Amino acid sequence: MQTRKLGNLEVSAIGLGCMGFSQSYPPFPDKRESIAVIRRAVELGVTFFDTSEAYGPYTNEELVGEALEPFRDQVIVATKFGWNIPADHSAYTDRAFALDSSPATIRRAVEGSLKRLRTDHIDLYYQHRVDPRVPIEEVAATVKDLISEGKVLHFGLSEAKADIIRRAHAVCRVSAVQSEYSMFYREPEKSILPTLEELGIGFVPFSPLGKGILSGRFTRDSRLDDNDFRSAIPRFQGENFQNNMKLADFVAALAVQKGATPAQIALTWVSAQKEWIVPIPGTKKIDRLQENLGSLDISFSADELSSIAATLDGMVILGDRYPQSHNELV
């Protein structure tokens, strides 16, 4: 398995995003099937696994903890804090939580995550979303204390702007920043990637397959179930979706040219942007897992990357990536 560096943290060149086993992409497999996929990923050389206390909530960490317990010393586990999760979350929806990165909440969260993950340390601990009520310096100082106590090894941020990254990094070294990034959403190229390159921070793209639109699974006639969270995303609705399928068609054509699948093309492109980028595609199926890992055997020449960039620059993607006033727990 090829490896890459997130700061000074070495991980497999592709990780596994585990959210979909428990949230947002129904139907969900039973626990035995989910554990089989996660353990197969380990067998195939994946060492980087992503979860969060918010996924479920809690149930995804429990799943990941059980699946990885026999391999704990061989893998890197990333999880996230930053939510006020109600004690009674039986009526949970992914719009229900308030942001909370107060030091007391972070400390409660880390203890819960350690227990659910069946471990004595968290390899990479992200602030899931920036809490505007708590100065990022206070958040970073709290995580720095957890690092000194051995409960956390590395600090990360998710969906943070460049100025927040700089301020946090000045207090506690940030090893990785996680944000959405793909051919379908290239906003991080403007200020995030240059900032990370300057500071020596790794980048972990979630939704590197554009929430599935780059995987080859959609046609213009595709319809999403109402309980699939993508059905509420403007990019996947009506005329926006019809327009955005032009990008899917382009990726599919590239796949034919390269003798690859659309998903492999999308992942290869993401990884090719910087050597310190480690995408974390999610899947619930072993065959898709193997397909995604097959992207590591594909490469683009400089001329191919230049041609792809020119085409992408000429495309207009329509619609917002989330519904208005919606905190998606990715």
Output the pLDDT for position 105. 97
Q: Cβ atoms within 10 A of the Cβ of 38, count?
A: 21
Which of the residues 25, 55, 125, 126 is marked catalytic? 55
In the predicted model, residues of the chain with pLDDT beneath 70 are 88-96, 325-330
DSSP string for 219-274: -TT----TTSGGGG-GGGSHHHHHHHHHHHHHHHHHHHHHTS-HHHHHHHHHHHT-
To the question of pTM greater than 0.85 for the whole model, the response is yes
Domain definitions of the chain by residue range: 3-209+274-298
Active site residue 55: yes
Pick the closest to residue 282 from 94, 82, 24 (CA basis).
24
Output the pLDDT for position 96. 58
Instruction: Give me 76's structure tokens.
Output: 């890197």
| Start-to-end C-alpha separation, the chain | 26
Q: What angle do CA 175, 82, 163 make, to 5 degrees?
A: 50
Output the pLDDT for position 224. 84
Q: Determine contact, residues 218/245, Cβ cutoff 8 Å.
A: yes
Residue 171 CA from chain centroid, whole number: 24
Per residue, the 3-state secondary structure of 107-126, as one string, reads HHHHHHHHHHCCCCCEEEEE
Q: Which contiguous run of DSSP H or E holds residue 158?
A: strand 152-158
What is the rounded CA–CA span in Å between residue 74 and residue 61? Answer: 17
Instruction: Give me 223's structure tokens.
Output: 């319809």
- CB-neighbour burial class of residue 219 (10 A; exposed 0-12, middle 13-18, buried 19+): exposed
For the chain, the 3-state helix, strand and coil shares in percent, each to the nearest 5, are: 45, 15, 40
pLDDT digits (tens, 9 = 90+) for 48-71: 999 999 999 999 999 999 999 999
Pick the closest to residue 57 from 8, 10, 90 (CA basis).
90
Pick the closest to residue 23 from 86, 103, 89, 99 (CA basis).
89
Q: Cβ atoms within 10 A of the Cβ of 181, count?
A: 24
Helices 162-171 and 188-199 pack at an angle, to 10 degrees, of 20
Class level of CATH domain 3-209+274-298: alpha beta
Largest CA distance in the chain: 55
Judged by DSSP in three states, 76 sits in strand
Output the pLDDT for position 325. 56
Output the pLDDT for position 324. 73
Bridge partners, residue 277, by sequence: 203
- Whether cis (ω within 30° of 0) applies to the bond prior to 27 is yes
